[in-house]
Amino acid sequence: MKTSASPNQAVAVALLYGSLSLAMAFFNKALISQYEFNYPFFILFCQMLVTVTILEVVRVSGKFGLPSVTISDIRTFAFPCLCYSLHATLSLAALKGMNIPMYGAVKRCTPLINLVLAVVYLRKPCPSFLVTFSIFVVTLGCLVAGLSDPSFNGVAYSVGVASVILQGLYQTLVQQCGLSMSPLHILHLNSFISVGPFLLIACLKGELTDAFNFPHLTEVWFVSLFVAVLVLGLVLNFALFLCTILTSALTTSVVGVIKSVLQTFIGFFTFGGIIFHPVNVTGIILNTMGGVMYTYAKYQDGKSRADPDSTYDLDSSLKNGKHPS
């Protein structure tokens, strides 16, 4: 039988995920753009390695009832893990060629993918008119802003759109897997499956050698930033899976929309801001307004009916390491 997370637990997890996601975008941007440490596969390999190491220690210690990784688990989670890995890689690549406001604008299109998958794949009912209209405004704003972006990079935008599609897909798949797996187990599986391929690709692309020969490798500020990115990556991934399972893929994307509004505002004044163009700024504002409208629409939907996707009790999931039956 499914149990529901309390409102306080759901809000706390959503705030944790939103805050970490906001911070992660700026930390990644600083690492990749300011220091020009453009080695996405090496970064992701290190994140997965740190996560696997910590969770293996947790498993061996018997804390939280974390089970061992089995062949059956790997088969079950292989495709969601592939979607996550591709999304994470493409997001880092897109961030290299895009300013923060436009990166946030593109990311705000994720609810469109979640809504399509919710209706087509999860067989959810069609969304309300206000939700649909807000998604249209978000997408229109993104198109207007992108086409009028003075620093437009076609490759970066294409990679960003691909990452959004993959993000919506893996969030939906994680929501489905959450019916039988705990957030900690999903995080363990995701890292365990990903660490090998990320290492292999990093070696084949020469990123491993380049990273160890990086000129700033011994600088305190660079090392501090790199360690912060690794730790944030671990906690953010756990918060992502926890938020998706406790609420839904759609709710997680709503949190992402709210986060990206703040991200857009801060991005106007950091990392060189943006090259001002009236149409571009109008598109970003339109995109942001659509995001706010979308959040309001989902709030109204939540008031009018109970959310069937709220399936998890936080304390029992972490203690038992499995979904209550």
Whether 231 has a pLDDT exceeding 60, the answer reads yes
CA neighbor of 139 nearest in space, from 172, 170, 113 = 113
CA neighbor of 110 nearest in space, from 139, 86, 140 = 139
Q: Per mean pLDDT, which of 17-21, 143-147, 194-198, 305-309 is the most reliable?
A: 194-198
Beta-carbon contacts of 137 under 8 Å, excluding residues fewer than 6 positions away, are: 286, 287, 289, 290, 293
In the chain the first and final C-alpha atoms are separated, in Å, by: 5
**% of the chain exceeding 90 in pLDDT:** 13
Q: Which residue has the higher pLDDT, 89 or 63?
A: 89
The verdict on pTM exceeding 0.95 is no
Would you kindly state where each structural domain of the chain is located, as residue ranges? 7-305
Q: Which residue has the higher pLDDT, 224 or 151?
A: 224
